[in-house]
Amino acid sequence: MSAPTPRMLVKVQREDFDVGAELDALTRGRLGVGGMTSFLGLVRDIHGDARVGAMTLEHFPGMTERELGRISAEAHARWPLEATLVVHRFGRLEPGDRIVLCAAASAHRQAAFDACAFLIDFLKTRAPFWKLEATDAGERWVEARASDDDAAARWDAPR
């Protein structure tokens, strides 16, 4: 009996998601999975010196899914993965709302840990999303952060 083909799930959606249901669906029937890691991102109520009342995420449908698929495929090329998942929301979100879920499943934990970190690092720097924060000082676009670029650059180093 051959091993199942690696699974790559990418979802870009307005509606909320159930973390447990998403992770269960990712690994269902995959008996070779020995470890799975996940990252859940939430909208926070403060950014720098301003209170955030809401965040609106915009994206280019089609382009966003393709880029998230490329990031996932790169993770599969780098590590022996059974499955990956990226769920990212768009639209108006409030503090405490779930915004992103990344997960990686592998036979061994280290590949899962590394791939999950890679997914979120590259999602933050390469995925075409734009964030508009509604703050107590007015609306402002969220700028790219050098710390996100630094986190992604670590994956360019020889392993």
User: Is the confidence at residue 44, as pLDDT, over 50?
Assistant: yes
41 assigned to some structural domain: yes
Pairing, β 98-106 against β 138-141: unpaired
Q: How many domains are there within the chain?
A: 1
The range of the structural domain enclosing residue 40 comes to 7-154
pTM of the model: 0.91
- What's the pLDDT score for residue 48? 77
**Measured distance between the N- and C-terminal CA atoms of the chain, rounded to whole angstroms:** 32
Mean pLDDT on 104-129: 96
Q: What is the mean pLDDT of the chain?
A: 93
Output the domain CATH number for residue 109.
Answer: 3.90.1170.40
65-114 pLDDT per residue, tens: 999 999 999 999 999 999 999 999 999 999 999 999 999 999 999 999 99
